[in-house]
A and B are shown apart, each in its own frame.
Chain A
Amino acid sequence: MQQNQVLQFVKTNATLIALVVLTGALALADPTFHTARNLSNVARQVTIVGIIGVGMTMVILIAGIDLSVGSVVGVAAVVVTLLMQAGVAAWIAVPATLVVVGGLIGLWNGFWIARYRIPPFIITLGMLTIARGVALTLSGGSSVPVADPSFANLGSAYIPPVPTLVIVGVAAVLYVTRLVRSLSQSKKSGIRADVDKPAAGVIIAAAGFALAIYVFGGGDGLPVPVAIFVVIAGAAIFVLGHTRFGRRLYALGGNEEAARLSGINIHQTKVIVYVTVSILAALSGILLASRLNGASPNLGTMFELDAIAAVVIGGTSLAGGSGTIGGTIIGALIIGVLNNGMSLLGVSSFYQLIIKGLIISLAVWFDVMQKNKWAG
């Protein structure tokens, strides 16, 4: 019985355990890995793929795919820097880029997919090429420097340690109150609460808060992109779990025809999802341009693959209908930690590619195995 529960826990949290084991192993293998400075760096690197991954999770949840996100990163970076070159202030250029680049590309993809049922793979593959071409055309093929110095804050600034600690503290208090409320609620409705489920959640959350204090509570503090990522991920977790829109996504991915017959507007839902992922990709492009202090038209090449990999490693099913943002965050962290760790250990970048590919294959295999067991 006891053993069974442990096995169940391992199975449902396999990716998280993989992340912990990986982190532990790297901490033992390389003394610089677990410094706050290095971990903070890892966190910042992860945000770029992580933000796209949040959108990609929604797309894959509805059994779609978006291959154009990497190119959107490039276009957004080029457009935002060009706007500033043209004298537009950063605080206008950023939202304008999000709406124009992210919004329009998302609408285009969503329109064809929802209205004419063009396979998402094809229409976004087309957009991958189109958007890259647009980035190259607009920039004339060369890098665009940043004209407005305030723009750099977005990607490179920090929230200092003291406010960071306050933020983490507030988040922890919020978490505890919610936990207490949900526990009392389930007690009230007379349901025998699954004790081990919240218990595992509490341990994971506590470890998360402790790690956040360790990494961001000292040194320079919390990098702004990481803060943005946390806000976006938090919002997405809430939307998927606690809103009508979230329900529509799971319904649409689980059984599109049944969703339609249950009165869900599947066209509208699809368009919103593809617009969201494009806007998030555009945001990633802007953050990247800010941190690099300039935009190359080739920025974001192959990002779509890292984003998809993060989603898949995180346990979201490519068949749609099941998956979580939390899983994607873990997936993105695994990729980020792996990249960082292998570089620290001096593993050749050639081997890095091979290892990353093997891990993705393993994750998909695991997903299929689960599915088969369920079907059988």
Chain B
Amino acid sequence: MSEVVLKMEHIVKEFPGVRALDNVNFEARAGELLALMGENGAGKSTLMKVLGGVWPYPTYQGDIFIKGEKKRFYTPREAEEAGVAIIYQELNLIPELTVAENIFLDHQPTNRFGAIDWRQLHSGTQTLLDELGIRDVKPGDRVRSLAVGKQQMVEIAKALSKRASILVLDEPTSALTDKEVADLFRIIRKLKQNGVCMCYISHKMEEIKEIADRVVVLRDGKTIGDVTPITDITLDQIIARMVGRDIMDMFPGSARQRGEKILEVRNFWVDHPDWPGKKSVKNASFSAYRGEILGICGLMGSGRTTLVSAIFGACPAATHGDVLIDGKKADIRSPTDAIEHGVALLTEDRKALGLFMGQSISFNTTIASLPAISTPLTGVINAGRERALAEKQVAQLGIKAPGIDTLVGTLSGGNQQKVILGRWLNASPKIFILDEPTRGIDIGAKVEIYKLLNRLAEEGVAVIIISSELPEVLGMSDRILVMSEGAIVSEFTRGKATREAIMEFATGARRTGE
């Protein structure tokens, strides 16, 4: 067995109100690829940020050993100098510079006058590219002109130019085509031979089986089980470690009756916004019913958010296919159209996509129902009606604030989320889509939101929830759709769905239909 290059011991990292990492322990060896697995929010990326010095010492507790030596990184630069290179999902290249300039950014070879030695820069780059067997990239190519897969290889070459002995790859294949993935794996195998230690974050089970040597699973910030050789564990066992068995009893029961079909989506396609020919949503067909909660699951990037925002008319990319509301074809081209058709969408990022932080609760809760609080022709706002709508939501959602004139920016996360909920409830939707309705809020507020959603369904609203938290979807939904790589790959009814089964479909480990 080869030498242990990286060892992380008892790592604890806390954010206000959350323990993101809770006693993480693992080690990785030279020349191996260690797969780091876990659901969204399990702490994988936080862990790698601790390793990379993005969260510097002493903002975490625990020890990092590199080649047996205890290290404390105060800056990302120190981690880099110790041989740690991290390739994030969002690539860190400068598009306007050439491949060679990017690779040797900040450590360019210089001649005796201190100017950049271009000849050496290019030959050094060529050597690196040759070593990795990358043939179709030239040192003088501008990074902007390269496909994403090639850019990623340039990132790897850049890491190697700094003599990295530990290479972290954070979901490297999420934007790659099959051929690019094959190329990447070829390079990874080469790096293994060269003795580079790699940590590989991914959700995709097939990849892990193909490329990983050992695997370690994170769940709720803890390492679950030991580092296990991939040959000693089945995919099912990995999934079991990832999802755990404890579904908290926090989902209030509800007696509701499914009503008639209200929304039908037929053969719905959405183009990729900046990648001609590629599709973000592939041939999606599904229905939603009054009085029913429909859950949509999928990993990040599975197309679930794109699907619902396209139905809401908010997606800039072109769409094909039909959306029928109450049996009639609905031509929804903008959120304005959607609201008129009785559709509401609570977006996933409340700060960036939802709230007006510098405005009051009453402004925020009435902005999507301006016609209801104003005279049609003149557009003059009736202050009394505005106040009534705002106060109604404050009361029914239990928003804790001094008054409806309180600025939303001063509220807690849970109360902010309730303000946006209030905005959409004021619009009286028939179809209410909620994208990550409980992200980043405390348990108490979560349960209140669950109760509200149950009540809405009882009142005959068609509720659709998207969530990365599987227990939430399982606990709330009457029916669950699973998405993977832009397609709806499976559908479960209440009671038939298990976390394991959903994860198998979501990770692409199992497929039906196609």
Instruction: Give me the interface of A with B, judged by CB distance under 8 Å.
Output: 185, 189, 191, 242-248, 250-251, 254-255, 257-265, 321-322, 374
Contacts and interface: CB of A to CB of B under 8 A. Distances in A.
B314 interface: yes
Contact of B347 (A243, A246, A250, A261): A261
Nearest to A371: B358
B355 A247 contact: no
A261 B335 contact: yes
Interface stretch (B55-63, B187-195, B244-252, B372-380): B372-380
Given A243-B380, A243-B381, A263 B358 contact: no
A275 to B, nearest CB: 17
B357 A245 contact: no
Contacts of B379: 243-245
Nearest to A265: B336
7 contacts: A189-B387, A250-B359, A250-B363, A255-B356, A257-B352, A258-B352, A259-B356
A243 B359 contact: no
Interface in B351-377: 352-359, 363, 366-368, 370-371, 374
Interface residues of B, number: 35
Contact of A260 (B335, B355, B378, B383): B335
Contacts of A321: 356, 358-359
A263 B372 CA distance: 13
Contacts of B363: 247, 250-251
Contacts of B380: 242-243
Contacts of B387: 189
Interface string B191-202: 000000000000
Nearest to B314: A261
Nearest to B374: A244
Contacts of A374: 358, 409
Can you list the 3 inter-chain pairs with the closest CB atoms, starting with the nearest? A244-B379, A254-B356, A263-B339
Given A243-B380, A244-B379, 13 more contacts: A185-B383, A242-B380, A242-B383, A243-B374, A247-B381, A254-B358, A255-B355, A258-B355, A260-B314, A261-B345, A263-B336, A263-B368, A321-B358
Contact of A243 (B353, B378, B427): B378
A370 to B, nearest CB: 11
B403 interface: yes
A191 B427 CA distance: 26
B381 A262 contact: no
Contact of B357 (A242, A243, A244, A255): A255
B370 A244 contact: yes
Nearest to A247: B370
Given A189-B387, A251-B367, A264 B336 contact: yes
B354 A258 contact: yes
A248 B371 CA distance: 12
B374 A262 contact: no
B336 to A, nearest CB: 4
Nearest to A260: B335
Interface in B380-424: 380-381, 383-384, 387, 403, 409, 423
A191 B380 CA distance: 23
A218 B384 CA distance: 41
B352 A262 contact: no
Contacts of A262: 335, 367-368, 423
Most B Cβ at <10 Å: residue of A244, A248, A259, A265: A244
Contacts of B339: 263
Given A251-B356, A254-B357, A258-B355, A264 B367 contact: yes
B228 interface: no
A254 B356 CA distance: 6
Interface in B297-344: 312, 314, 334-336, 338-339
B381 A244 contact: yes
B190 to A, nearest CB: 43
A213 B457 CA distance: 62
A247 B357 CA distance: 14
Nearest to A374: B409
Contacts of A257: 352-353
Nearest to A191: B403
Contacts of B352: 255, 257-258
A254 B345 contact: no
Contacts of A263: 334-336, 338-339, 368, 427
A115 B366 CA distance: 27
A361 B345 CA distance: 42
Nearest to A244: B379
B356 A258 contact: yes
Contact of A258 (B353, B381, B427): B353
B381 A242 contact: yes
A250 B381 CA distance: 14
A255 B363 CA distance: 13
Interface in B252-288: none
A321 B335 CA distance: 21
A255 B349 CA distance: 12
Most B Cβ at <10 Å: residue of A185, A246, A254, A322: A254
Most A Cβ at <10 Å: residue of B371, B374, B427: B374
A265 B358 CA distance: 21
B334 A254 contact: no
Most B Cβ at <10 Å: residue of A189, A247, A257: A247
A191 B383 CA distance: 14
B354 A261 contact: yes
Contacts of A242: 380-381, 383
Contacts of A322: 358
A320 to B, nearest CB: 10
B356 A250 contact: yes
Nearest to B386: A247
A319 to B, nearest CB: 9
Nearest to B345: A261
Contacts of B345: 261
Contacts of A185: 383-384
Contacts of B312: 261
A192 to B, nearest CB: 10
A247 B366 CA distance: 10
Nearest to B378: A243
A177 B335 CA distance: 40
Contacts of B356: 250-251, 254-255, 258-259, 321
Contacts of A247: 363, 366-367, 370, 381
Contacts of A264: 336, 367
A9 B164 CA distance: 59
A96 B225 CA distance: 80
B335 to A, nearest CB: 5
A322 B354 CA distance: 17
Contacts of A244: 370-371, 374, 379, 381
Interface string B7-44: 00000000000000000000000000000000000000
B133 to A, nearest CB: 42
A369 to B, nearest CB: 16
A246 B380 CA distance: 9
A322 B338 CA distance: 28
A322 B363 CA distance: 13
Nearest to B368: A262
Nearest to A186: B387
A321 B370 CA distance: 17
Contacts of A261: 312, 314, 335, 345, 347, 353-354
Contacts of B338: 263
Most B Cβ at <10 Å: residue of A243, A246, A248, A262: A262
Nearest to B381: A242
B372 to A, nearest CB: 11
B330 to A, nearest CB: 15
B406 to A, nearest CB: 13
Contacts of A250: 356, 359, 363
A24 to B, nearest CB: 33
B266 to A, nearest CB: 24
